[in-house]
């Protein structure tokens, strides 16, 4: 595996060549090393750490300080993969606050891209960040930080109005300067359409096989979720005798398009 670092332009080139992008969440240096060696392209330091590491019921309690700490751990453990860190709950409530917190994730945590949730209301923030040279990954569809507002972890974009809003917001995020887009828990047909329409890479989770790449929560794909795993996930430890082999199998499945399968695409 080449140690040449991956950048947002690398991922854009992969999309243009039709090469699928393999992504996983990551929270520490040891796993960063394993994922990097297996060929994972993007390490997402997700605020999902609030649930899988800290035991919270949602991502809401996670702080900027915690995100910077874990991003730093991941950054020190990888050589090649791109490190993307979540701006946690209310960290980008205003463009100024987002700028300050993104600077912390990059300067203290070594993140190369920051990810934020939300559509039209976040456009000014995306413009402000990108104007200052900060690469942004947008996140549409199911927004975990808004779980209390939407009443649970529900699939989005299943009716005309919400699907049109996602289409509009995806284009608007690209126009505002976002370098990447995560689409979570939306119908596969909608995710495929957005992926084809946009020039920036679209990474899906619970959004079917038509996206430019896939991401899963690391603990889900290793079968470490103590509760019922998401319907769109797969236990890659099953049939493999090591974590490294399971991660390599995930990368191969994403590259070949065999993950997600039809039965792992709820809508």
**SS3 string of 101-166?**
HHHHHHHCCCCCEEEEECCHHHHHHHHHHHHCCCCEEEEEECCHHHHHHHCCCCCCCCCHHHHHHH
Q: Which of 79, 184, 252, 264 is catalytic?
A: 184
Q: For the chain, which residues make up each domain, given as ranges?
A: 8-264
Query: Quick one: pLDDT at residue 146?
Result: 92
Give yes or no for residue 2 having a pLDDT over 60.
no
Query: What pLDDT, in 10s, does the model give residues 56-103?
Result: 999 999 999 999 999 999 999 999 999 999 999 999 999 999 999 999
Q: Determine whether 184 is an active site residue.
A: yes
Architecture of domain 8-264: Alpha-Beta Barrel (3.20)
How far is residue 198's CA from residue 170's CA, in Å, rounded to a whole number? 8
The pTM (predicted TM-score) of the whole model is 0.96
Instruction: Provide the pLDDT confidence category of residue 189 given band limits of 50, 70 and 90.
Output: very high
How far is residue 19's CA from residue 267's CA, in Å, rounded to a whole number? 24
Query: Quick one: pLDDT at residue 222?
Result: 97
């Amino acid at each position: 595996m080449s140690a040449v670092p991956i950048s947002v332009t690398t991922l854009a080139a992969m999309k243009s060549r039709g090469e699928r992008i393999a992504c996983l969440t990551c929270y520490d240096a040891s796993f960063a090393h394993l994922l990097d060696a297996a060929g994972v392209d993007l390490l997402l330091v997700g605020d999902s750490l609030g649930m899988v590491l800290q035991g919270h019921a949602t991502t809401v309690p996670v702080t900027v300080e915690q995100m910077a700490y874990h991003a730093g751990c991941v950054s020190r453990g990888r050589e090649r993969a791109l490190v993307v860190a979540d701006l946690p709950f209310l960290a980008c409530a205003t463009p100024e606050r987002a700028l300050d917190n993104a600077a912390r994730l990059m300067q203290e945590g070594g993140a190369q891209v920051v990810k934020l949730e939300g559509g039209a209301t976040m456009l000014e923030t995306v413009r402000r960040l990108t104007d200052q040279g900060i690469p942004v990954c947008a996140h549409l569809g199911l927004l975990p930080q808004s779980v209390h507002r939407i009443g649970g972890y529900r699939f989005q974009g299943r009716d005309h109005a919400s699907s049109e809003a996602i289409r509009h917001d995806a284009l608007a995020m690209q126009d505002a300067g976002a370098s990447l887009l995560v689409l979570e828990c939306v119908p596969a047909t909608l995710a495929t359409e957005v992926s084809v329409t946009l020039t920036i890479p679209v990474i899906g989770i619970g959004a079917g096989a038509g996206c430019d790449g896939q991401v899963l929560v690391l603990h889900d794909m290793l079968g470490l979720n103590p509760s019922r795993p998401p319907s769109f996930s797969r236990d890659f430890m099953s049939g493999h005798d090591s974590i490294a082999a399971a991660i390599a199998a995930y990368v191969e499945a994403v590259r070949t398009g065999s993950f997600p399968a039809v039965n792992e695409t709820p809508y």
